[in-house]
C-alpha cells in the first residue's frame, strides 16, 4: 500500500478496514488513496431520507418534488417521469436496478448459492468497469495476465493508462484450450506472491469459452495457487455471457466458482447488458466482488473506494439509460425476444462452423477454436493479416479486423446470415490469391 502524503483520513479509515484481507493487499497506490467523500452526495442522500420539510442539498432545479424538464425532451421519453429522465442517479447506480442485476447474477449462476458477494456497482459500460479496476489494482510494476490474442482495449487500459504490464498466455495448443500453458503462466507469476489475471469468456477475439472440464481445471489451478500462498485477483470479463452455442461449454461465469474459492482469491465480475441485452449504446455495466475471506465491513469499504473512483471521474452514470434498462429487463416481452436474438446468432455461428469444418485442409488459413460469442478469429499462415484485411476491404468491400500480424477477426454477429457463406468464401479465396503472389 502507498506511503503517499495525500492519503485522506477517510481513505486511511477504509485502508485500515481492508488491511487484513486480500483487497487491502492488492490495492494500487491510487486505490489506497481513494475514498468516498462525506460531501454533497452523501449529505444529499441523507437529506432524501430525513429532509421532509425541504431538501436544499442537490444541484438540480426542482419544482414540487420533480426536476424541471424541457417539453421537447419529455415528449421523447414519455414513459419516464422527470426524475427518471433528467434527475441525477446515485453515484453507484440506481439501487433498484443494481438489486435486479444482483438477483439475475444469482439466477444465471446457481453455483453462487450461499456465496456472499457485493451489490453490483453500476458503471458507464464494461470498459469503465475495467478502467476502474485498473485504477484500483494496477501500479507501474503490476503484471496482468490475459489470454493472447486479447481485446485491444486491454493493453490500452493496463499499459497505456496505468503503465502496468499486460502479459499474454497462449490460449490454444493443438486446436484446444492450452490449460498447461495457462497453469505455467499462473505458477510463474505466483513466484512474485501476487497473481492478477483478466479472464474473458466467451473471449474476444477468438469466440472461445472453456468446456465444463476446462473451466474446472482453470478454477483448480487458481485455487491451488492461493493455497500455496499467493494472492490471486481474477477479473472475469463476462461481456458476452450466455452466448454459448455448443453443449459442452461451461454455462456459468468462472466468478460463480471463484467468489467463494479461497480467502486469497478476490474475484470480480465485470458484466452488463451491453451485449447480453443488446443495448450497446446505453453505456451501463456492473462490477461485483466476491471473496471467501472478506466480511461485510470490508466489502463496504471496497465499494466506498470504487464509488469514490466513479465520483471523481464521471460522477454518475446517465439516468435515462438506467431507467430505460430497468423497465426493459422487467418487461414481459424481453425474455422471449432475447431467446430469439440468441437463436439468430447461433444460426450464424452454425453456418460459420459448417464452412470452417469443411475447409480444415486450407494451408493458408486456420480458424482458432471457437464455440460462443460474437466473433471467431483466423490464423494467417505465410500471409499478413493486415494485407488480407486491406484486400478484402478494397477489392471486395468486406470489412474485417486484423488484430495483429497473424490474426483476422470476423464478427459473424453483424453479418446477415445469408451473406456469411459468401463472406467466408471470399476470405479463403483472397488468402489463397495472396499466398500465390
Ligand X SMILES: Cc1ncc(COP(=O)(O)O)c(C=O)c1O
Contact footprint for ligand X (CB under 6 A): 125-127, 151, 200, 204, 237, 239, 272, 274, 280, 285
| Closer by beta carbon to ligand X, 21 or else 378 | 378
> Is 422 in contact with 415 (CB distance < 8 Å)?
no
As measured in angstroms, the least distance from the Cβ of 101 to ligand X is 14
- Please say whether the beta carbons of 131 and 102 come within 8 A: no
Least distance CB 377 / ligand X (angstroms): 13
The Cα–Cα gap between 31 and 260 comes to 23
Q: What are phi and psi of 70, to 5 degrees?
A: -70, 140
The smaller minimum CB distance to ligand X, of residues 225 and 400, is found at 400
End-to-end CA distance of the chain: 57
Of 32 and 274, which has the nearer Cβ to ligand X? 274
| Residue with smaller CB distance to ligand X, 11 or 233 | 233
Cα separation, 52 vs 47, whole angstroms: 8
**What is the number of alpha carbons within 13 Å of residue 69 lying toward its C-beta?**
22
Q: Do the bridges between strand 375-380 and strand 62-63 make them parallel or antiparallel, or are there none, so unpaired?
A: unpaired
Q: Which lies closer to ligand X via its Cβ, residue 76 or residue 280?
A: 280
Beta strand pairing status for 285-290 and 66-67? unpaired
CB nearer to ligand X: pick between 263 and 277: 277
CB 269 to ligand X: min, Å:
12
Shortest Cβ 268–ligand X spacing (Å):
13
Residue with cell 502507498: 2
Give the pairing type, strands 194-200 and 231-237. parallel
Least distance between ligand X and beta carbon 37 (Å): 26
Q: Smallest gap, in angstroms, from Cβ of residue 153 to ligand X?
A: 7
The answer to whether 204 and 151 have CB atoms below 8 angstroms apart is: yes
- Helices 9-18 and 296-311 pack at an angle, to 10 degrees, of 140
Cell of 339: 431467446
178 versus 271: smaller Cβ distance to ligand X? 271
Least spacing, CB of residue 132 vs ligand X, in Å: 12
Q: Which three cell numbers stand for residue 244?
A: 454459448
Amino acid at each position: 500500500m502507498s506511503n503517499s502524503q495525500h492519503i485522506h483520513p477517510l481513505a486511511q479509515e477504509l485502508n485500515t478496514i481492508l488491511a487484513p484481507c486480500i483487497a487491502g493487499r492488492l490495492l494500487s497506490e491510487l486505490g489506497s488513496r481513494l475514498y468516498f467523500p462525506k460531501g454533497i452526495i452523501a449529505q444529499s442522500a441523507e437529506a432524501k431520507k430525513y429532509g421532509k420539510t425541504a431538501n436544499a442539498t442537490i444541484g438540480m432545479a426542482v419544482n414540487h418534488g420533480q426536476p424541471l424538464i424541457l417539453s421537447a425532451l419529455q415528449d421523447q421519453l414519455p414513459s419516464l417521469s422527470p426524475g427518471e429522465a433528467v434527475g441525477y442517479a446515485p453515484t453507484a447506480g440506481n439501487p433498484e436496478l443494481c438489486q435486479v442485476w444482483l438477483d439475475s447474477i444469482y439466477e444465471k449462476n446457481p453455483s453462487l448459492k450461499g456465496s456472499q458477494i457485493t451489490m453490483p456497482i453500476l458503471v458507464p459500460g464494461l470498459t469503465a468497469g475495467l478502467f476502474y479496476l485498473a485504477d484500483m489494482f494496477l501500479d507501474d510494476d503490476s503484471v496482468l495476465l490475459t489470454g493472447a490474442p486479447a481485446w485491444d482495449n486491454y493493453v490500452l487500459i493496463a499499459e497505456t493508462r496505468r503503465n502496468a504490464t499486460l502479459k499474454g498466455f497462449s490460449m490454444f495448443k493443438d486446436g484446444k484450450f492450452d490449460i498447461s500453458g495457462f497453469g505455467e503462466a499462473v505458477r510463474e507469476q505466483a513466484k512474485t506472491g501476487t497473481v492478477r489475471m483478466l479472464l474473458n469468456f466467451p473471449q474476444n477475439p477468438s469466440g472461445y469459452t472453456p468446456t465444463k472440464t476446462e473451466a474446472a481445471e482453470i478454477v483448480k489451478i487458481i485455487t491451488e495457487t492461493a493455497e500455496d500462498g499467493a494472492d490471486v485477483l481474477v477479473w472475469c470479463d463476462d461481456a458476452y455471457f450466455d452466448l454459448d452455442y455448443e453443449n459442452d461449454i461451461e454455462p456459468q461465469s468462472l466468478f460463480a466458482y471463484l467468489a467463494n474459492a479461497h480467502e486469497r482469491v478476490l474475484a470480480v465480475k465485470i458484466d452488463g447488458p451491453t451485449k447480453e441485452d443488446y443495448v450497446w449504446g446505453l453505456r451501463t455495466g456492473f462490477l461485483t466482488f466476491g471473496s471467501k475471506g472478506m466480511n461485510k465491513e470490508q466489502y463496504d469499504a471496497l465499494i466506498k473506494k470504487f464509488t469514490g473512483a466513479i465520483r471523481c471521474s464521471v460522477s454518475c452514470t446517465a439516468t435515462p439509460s438506467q431507467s430505460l434498462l430497468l423497465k426493459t429487463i422487467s418487461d414481459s416481452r424481453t425474455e422471449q425476444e432475447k431467446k430469439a436474438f440468441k437463436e439468430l446468432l447461433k444460426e450464424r455461428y452454425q453456418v460459420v462452423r459448417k464452412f470452417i469444418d469443411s475447409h480444415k485442409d486450407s494451408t493458408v488459413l486456420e480458424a482458432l477454436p471457437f464455440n460462443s460469442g460474437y466473433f471467431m478469429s483466423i490464423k494467417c499462415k505465410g500471409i499478413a493479416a493486415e494485407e488480407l484485411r486491406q484486400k478484402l476491404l478494397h477489392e471486395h468491400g468486406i470489412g474485417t479486423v486484423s488484430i495483429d500480424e497473424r490474426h483476422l477477426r470476423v464478427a459473424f454477429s453483424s453479418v446477415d446470415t445469408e451473406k456469411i457463406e459468401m463472406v467466408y468464401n471470399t476470405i479463403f479465396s483472397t488468402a489463397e490469391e495472396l499466398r500465390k503472389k
